[in-house]
Structures are given as structure tokens and as C-alpha cells.
Amino acid sequence: MAASKRIALAVGLLVALAYPLVIQATGYTYFQTVGFLVFIYAMLGVGWNFIGGWAGQFDFGPCIFFATGAYTAALATVHWGWSPWLGMLGGIVVSMVICAVITFPVTRLRGHYFAIATVAMWMIAQPIGATWELINGSRGLFIPLAPAKSTGEAIWHLAWGGRSKALAYYYVALLLFVLSMYLAHRVDRSKLGYYFRAIRDDQEGAEAIGIDSRVYKTAARCLEAAVFAAGGVLYGFWALAVFPDQVLEMNWSVLPMISTVLGGIGRLWGPLLGALILIPISQGMSATLGAGPLAGRGLDVIVYGIIIMVVAAFRPSGLLSLPWARWFRRG
């Protein structure tokens, strides 16, 4: 890594670590929550990049793995008293197994046919989540919060309350985002990443040299499922409840995808750049229009559409494809 990239990475990490501490002194935690959501969506965008950016298969239904992770950890905590971290491991395993089972049969499909199949999976998951008694159906699950007696216990059970909750969950989201970025970096530089890109660029050519496209498409989506499951667990314990219309909401699939396309599809830092732009816009509009005459008009969706149309028309490879290095040197 070039020295300039190391410096930029170090500065970015320092800013991310210091950002909530500056706000904590004011007692106003709203912007910490916005930062938490930015890292959640950026993390999910990194997960979507495995299947959409590198393997070249558009997946419109990854929120089913977000819900699977959230429900698995919530059930383990409610019935067996598991720590959220153990529940997260369980949710990742369960999500990857379910993903492999439901994805491999449809990997013969390509392009928009594969995308339609993933939408159908999401449509099937909705009535299951709303009616399955094991997960309380539409009544949902409430996660009990016991007061922590020490900092270590609070970290182990993600049991924070009051003003410290927004700060603590911000750092947990940052940690999971960093881990997901490390995973993406390792995959990007590995043989697995090269196989993904070979399938995306020329599936027939990749199969001709012995790459099993069905196996590697399934592997790419399983990696996506693992990241989405971890994000679902974190969100469920932040909200202290898991409801089907909450965790199976289409935004958990669409916003990470839009963030990735906006920032740079198939690029390591694309999801973070897109989330840094889209999520503050969404939260800002909700805060300013939530009680006004324009509330509920879907203005955030209109803004998303305009942004995507502009990017698709003028920079289809995303904002990271702009000549930033040349501009920086010129500046």
C-alpha cells in the first residue's frame, strides 16, 4: 500500500474514532445514531458487493439473511440466555446454510432471471416471518435488557442504556464494518475473488478453464449472507426487538445496493462512500420532514432515484471512478 493510502486510511480511522466523542459531550446522541446507521449500511453494502460487484449477480433479497441473523440471535438470547456475540456466530452459520440451500438451485439463472428469483425468495420469506409461531409471527420477539454490573458484562451482552447506548453501538458498528472490510480485502486479493470476477466478466470462458460458476456464485452469496446476518444481529439488539416487517423491510436490501452502486460497484471502498452520502440524506429528511406537511411523501426515495439516475447517466462506474488522485495532485 502506498504511503499516501496509509496516511488517508489512518486519518479516516482517527476521524471515525473521534467523531462520537466530540458529540458525547453535548449530550445530543442523534448524530451518533446516524453514524451507527452509516456503518450498518456500509457493512451491508460490503456484503452485497461479493455477489453483485464481484460475481456480477444482482441480489434483491439479502434482507432475508439480515432477518435470519436477527431472529437466530434473539431466539438464542430469549430461550437460552446466549450472549449476542454467540448468537451472532449462530446467526451467521444458520444464514450461510440456508443461503447455500436456497441459492444453489437458482444459480443456473443469469442476469435479470437471477434477480427475479431473489425477489421471489424475499416474497416467500414475508408470509413465513409473519405467521411462523416459532418466531412469534407478526407479534415479533422482544429482547430483554438486564442492567450490566460492569463494563465487560455490558460489552458481552451489548447491554447499554441511556446516553452511553448510542456511543457504544456506534463503536460496535465500526468494529463490524472494519471486520467486513478486512474480509472483503482478503477475498479481493485471493483466488476466490479472481474466480468471482472471471464469472462476472465471462461466465462461459470461466467455465471453459474449469471454474464451476454455480459453486462460486453460491459461495459469493454465502459470504453476503454472513455479513447481512451479523448486521441483523446488531440491529436487533440495538432496537431490542425483532419484527418481520422490521427486519424483512426492502430497504435493508435496496439501500446497501444503492450505496454500493453510487460509491463504486465492485470497489472495496464504494459501499462506505455511498453510505456516507445516502444515509445522512435519509436521516436528515426524516428528522426535518417527519412532522411536517411533506411527511410520508417518499421524498427520500425520490432523492435516491435522482442520485442513481445522475450517476447511471454520467458515471455508471460510481463516484470512485472519478480521477480523484489527479485532482488531488493538481490541488
In this prediction, residue 73 carries a pLDDT of: 97
C-alpha 305 chain-centroid distance: 20
Domain count along the chain: 1
Residue 270: CATH number of its domain: 1.10.3470
Rounded to two decimals, what is the model's pTM? Answer: 0.93
Q: What is the pLDDT along the chain (331 residues), one digit of tens a residue?
A: 567 778 888 999 999 999 998 887 777 888 999 999 999 999 999 999 999 999 999 999 999 999 999 999 999 999 999 999 999 999 999 999 999 999 999 999 988 999 999 999 999 999 999 999 999 999 999 999 888 888 899 999 999 987 789 999 999 999 999 999 999 999 999 999 999 999 999 999 999 999 999 999 999 999 999 999 999 999 999 999 999 999 999 989 999 999 999 999 999 999 999 999 989 988 877 777 655 555 555 676 777 778 778 887 877 788 887 766 676 667 6
pLDDT for the residue 298: 64
Long-range contacts from 144-147, C-beta under 8 angstroms, 24+ separation: 144/77, 144/78, 145/240
> Quick check: helix, strand or coil at residue 297?
coil
* Residue numbers of the domain that contains 139: 3-330
The predicted-structure confidence for 145-170, as pLDDT tens digits, reads as follows: 888 888 899 999 999 987 789 999 99
- Among candidate residues 328, 200, 155, 181, the one with its CA nearest the CA of residue 263: 181
| Cα distance between residue 178 and residue 12, in whole Å | 12
The tens digit of pLDDT for each residue in 19-30 reads 998 887 777 888
